[in-house]
Each structure stands twice: as structure tokens, then as C-alpha cells.
Amino acid sequence: MTKTLIVLIGPTGVGKTELSLRIAERFSAPVVSSDSRQIYKDLPIGTAAATQEQKDRVAHHFVGILDLHEYFSAARFEEEVIGFLDDYYKESDVALMTGGSMMYVDAVCKGIDEMPSISAEIREKVMRLRDEVGLDGLLEILKDLDPEYYEIVDRKNHKRVMHGIEICMETGQTFTSFRKNHIKERPFQIIKVGLTRDREELYSRINQRVDEMMADGLLDEARRVYPHRDLNSLNTVGYKELFNYLDGTWTLEFAIEKIKQNSRIYSRKQMTWFKRDPEITWFNPEQQDEIMSFIESRIENGSEQK
């Protein structure tokens, strides 16, 4: 059988988890999480990480393995997942990767492009700009330099915004242009399945999931990690809003509504990113039988073409 990586992707709240378990069980495959926050310990509720019951059903990898202080990147994720798959494929044929972190998915499927080195002069210049104009000002600069990257970047992540600007200033080219130059060949076939729902339905599911997270103890989880609030690992929807509540800046009701709103905004960014990939075949999550048949057909065809 052709070595195969099934990639199940889609926006937050669309319904990837249960389907991923069914697919993994059907093909005796482990689940590789491509979620940039599930990889950290201490955040199981806010990141909707796999529960112990789900882990008992299917082996999960890259979930809850790092301390909050540890730095992790898409480039490191590429290196470690490819290393894991190299070993795994020596004994087995099919693996499943699922998650909504767009750059992590692309890192494994396409590879991380080598970015130009940033000179100390440019780095200092961008840091001065940050101090002078703040994040809002940096976003306006990025929008002017690279409007395409501006549309998909996490606009509350200083580091990503600044790095985009650094690349543009250092090279005179857009950050986006360096992300499209080279797709690495992988020694396994990749089957990409995308999940999508009607926007109104998706938003309702997102709102409900936030309510369920709060009922499950998200506030207590945020309170436990509050002393580390400035870490990049906690620069994510759910925790940032509750930190404002714990600061006394927002009411709890307002913080919860902002979590819902920011989750909906993030889901739109995810779909904007994923919709640009012609290799993704899209389904409604309710089409489970069709999805299974599609994957089986692709695996069979891959084996015939080998």
C-alpha cells in the first residue's frame, strides 16, 4: 500500500474531532495534531485538546507535550512531524493529521520556505516602529507592504506582524512571495479533506462550544495560567479575553462575548487560507460515508499508481 497521510482540516468548531476519530479507527491510524496550541500542557479546555477517552480510542501525537515557556514554530513542527512519519511508515501505511493551524498544516504538506536573514538594523527599526506606533500602526504598515499577508496574519500576534514587516523591508519583496517559492516533495501521498458548514450554522456551533468550555472550567484554567499571561503560548483566543476579565478591565459577560466574536473571526481567516488550496476536497461533516468512500478510493488509486 502507498504510504498515505490523510489531512483533515477546517475552521474551528466545524466538527473535526469526532470525524478524525472515526477515520483513524477505520484506517488504524494515529492522530497527529496540527494545532499550535494543543501542543502545550495546561490548556486542554481552551484548546479543545483530545480527552483521555479519545486518546484511549486512538493514539494522539503532538498534544500536551510542551511547557508553556517553550518556544515552538511551524518550522520545528515540520521537522518533528516528518521525523515521526519517517519512523511510523516503516511499519504502517496510513496516518491522519488534523487541526486548524494553517501554517502547521502547510509546513508538513508543502514545507516551510527558507526566509531571508534579518539584519540587526532592520530588526531594530521595526522594534522602534512598534514602540512608536503600536500594533495598530504596524498592521497599517503591513497592509501597505503586503496586503495578502495582512488578510491572513493573526493581527494580535506582534511577532508575526513584525516578522512580515521585517521580511518586506529587508528584501523589498512581500513576505507572501517567499511562502510560495518551493513545495517540498514528500515520500508519501497526501489526501486533503476539508470540512465546511453554512456560516450561520458554524457560528452557532462556535458560540455553543464557548459556552461549553466555560461550563467545563475554562475560567479556572485561565486563572491557573494567568501569571504567565505574557507568554506567546497564551497569546490565543479564549485566554486573552479572560485575562482582561481577571485584570478587571472587562466584565465576564463581555469577555465571553469577545471569545465568541474572536473565534468567529478566526474561523473566517482559516477558511480564507484553506480555500486557496486546490488540493482540498470539501465536504459537510455530515457526509461521513461519502468522506470515507473518497479516502478509500484515493488510497486505492494511489496504490495502483505506485
Q: What per-residue confidence (pLDDT) applies to 303?
A: 60
CA atoms within 13 A on the CB side of 162: 17
**What's the pTM value of the predicted model, to 2 decimals?**
0.82
**pLDDT by 10s per residue, the chain, length 306:** 899 999 999 999 999 999 999 999 999 999 999 999 999 999 999 999 999 999 999 999 999 999 999 988 888 999 999 999 999 999 999 999 999 999 999 999 999 877 788 898 999 999 999 999 999 999 999 999 999 999 988 887 888 899 999 999 999 999 988 876 578 899 999 999 999 999 999 999 999 999 999 999 999 999 999 999 989 899 899 999 999 999 999 999 999 999 999 999 999 999 999 999 999 999 999 999 999 999 999 999 876 555
Amino acid at 113: D
Tell me the fold of 4-112+182-305: Rossmann fold (3.40.50)
The CATH code for residues 120-178 is: 1.10.20.140
Beta strand residue intervals within the chain, DSSP E: 4-9, 31-33, 60-61, 94-98, 189-195, 280-283
Strand 189-195, strand 280-283: pairing: parallel
pLDDT tens string 224-271:
999 999 898 998 999 999 999 999 999 999 999 999 999 999 999 999
Q: Domain residues of the chain, as ranges?
A: 4-112+182-305, 120-178
